[in-house]
Amino acid sequence: MAIATRTFASSHRPNLFAEDAQYKLFQDDAFEWLAAAPPVSIHAVVTDPPYGLVEYTSRELNKMKNGKGGVWRIPPSFDGCQRRPLPRFTILKQEDHQALRKFFTRLASSLIRVLVPGGHVFVATNPLVSHLVYEPFVAAGFEKRGEIIRVVHTLRGGDRPKNAHGEFPDISVMPKSCWEPWGLFRKPCEGRVQDNLRKWKTGGLRRLSAEEPFKDLIYSSPARGIERESAPHPSLKPQGFLRQIVRAALPMQQGTILDPFMGSGSTIAAAAACGYSSIGIESNPEYFLLAVKAIPLLAKFEPGECNGNGKKA
């Protein structure tokens, strides 16, 4: 795929840009891109935003690469397997919480402007900070339509008190986390759902089949093996899971899905696998180039070829 430099809007600096028949990728700051994008032009958003807000700064990414300090931590190993670094949310302070609330207030108001009426947002979060995401979305005018529970074992939590394991062998500081919440929001419909579906092609969720609706509980292992080799991003989400939510997001299989924080492009790959059009934004040039390479590989996986295939472990 050719990579070009393109100016998206006159006020915009030139950015890397790549496209395929089904998707467009921009190396840009999501907020700048959203401010320049035409209003009422996106049909759904599926995204996994940065959370520590600092974890994707070059300073923290360098610390992770060097394996020293910072927000990224290797979870404790119990079985000799090599663990991947995970960002720590327990170290977030009061001012970090305020910064998160501000970030999601800005994101929600930017998204409601570009979405068509009835457009859904699926936003990845975690049990410690989900309230800092959900409240700003509701305040911006979105309707909360539910929460998708991704059942996944992430190795977070469940530890005994630090440096006092022996003294308190029967105590965990917090539960071991076994699920990941994804907030589900909708921009209000224009009139009834049926009117909105006719006019905007949005407002509902695509069913699994005539007999089976889309459901809010999805079993999914973390991305591993060939999938991770194809897209070595520290926060890679598995195709098996993403394809299920992306598929539901365009009820009439028409329109465009946006991921403003695409990382390795896993949402865009899931959209391509579902035959949907999509747009991905990523500010980090290294991850942008990773996405350009990884998307065609991830999109080609057959369901079940990779881990995290949505089946109960």
Ligand X SMILES: C[S@@+](CC[C@H](N)C(=O)[O-])C[C@H]1O[C@@H](n2cnc3c(N)ncnc32)[C@H](O)[C@@H]1O
Among 202, 266, 278, 309, binds ligand X (CB under 6 A): 266
Among 136, 183, 222, 263, binds ligand X (CB under 6 A): 263
The phi, psi pair for 300, rounded to 5°, reads -85, -15
Nearer to ligand X (CB atom), residue 235 or residue 309: 235
In terms of DSSP H, where are the helices of 76-235? 94-114, 130-139, 193-200, 225-230
Report the alpha-carbon angle 177-180-182, nearest 5. Answer: 155
Taking phi first (over 0 means left), then psi (-120 to 50 degrees means alpha), and beta for anything else, what does residue 263 get?
left
Nearer to ligand X (CB atom), residue 191 or residue 225: 225
Binding segment (CB under 6 A) for ligand X, from list 27-35, 36-44, 133-141, 248-256: 27-35
308 binds ligand X (CB under 6 A): no
Q: Whole-number minimum distance, CB 271 to ligand X, in Å?
A: 13
Among 200, 214, 261, 276, binds ligand X (CB under 6 A): 261
180 binds ligand X (CB under 6 A): no
Q: Whole-number minimum distance, CB 93 to ligand X, in Å?
A: 20
The phi, psi pair for 224, rounded to 5°, reads -140, 180
Q: Whole-number minimum distance, CB 264 to ligand X, in Å?
A: 3
Among 34, 37, 42, 48, binds ligand X (CB under 6 A): 48
Nearer to ligand X (CB atom), residue 189 or residue 223: 223
Nearer to ligand X (CB atom), residue 180 or residue 282: 282
Q: How many CB atoms lie under 10 A from the CB of residue 163?
A: 7
280 binds ligand X (CB under 6 A): no
50 binds ligand X (CB under 6 A): yes
Q: Whole-number minimum distance, CB 60 to ligand X, in Å?
A: 11
Helix, strand and coil content of the chain, in percent to the nearest 5, comes to: 30, 20, 50
228 binds ligand X (CB under 6 A): no
Compute the distance between CA of residue 251 and CA of residue 247 in angstroms, rounded to an integer: 8
29 binds ligand X (CB under 6 A): yes
The token pair that represents 283 in the structure block: 């500010």
Compute the distance between CA of residue 65 and CA of residue 7 in angstroms, rounded to an integer: 32
Taking phi first (over 0 means left), then psi (-120 to 50 degrees means alpha), and beta for anything else, what does residue 222 get?
beta
Please state the separation of Cα 285 from the chain's center in Å.
18
15-19 vs 256-259, strand pairing mode: unpaired
125 binds ligand X (CB under 6 A): no
Tell me the number of residues near ligand X by CB under 6 A. Answer: 19
**Interacting residues with ligand X (CB under 6 A):** 29-31, 48, 50, 56, 233, 235-237, 261, 263-264, 266, 281-284, 287
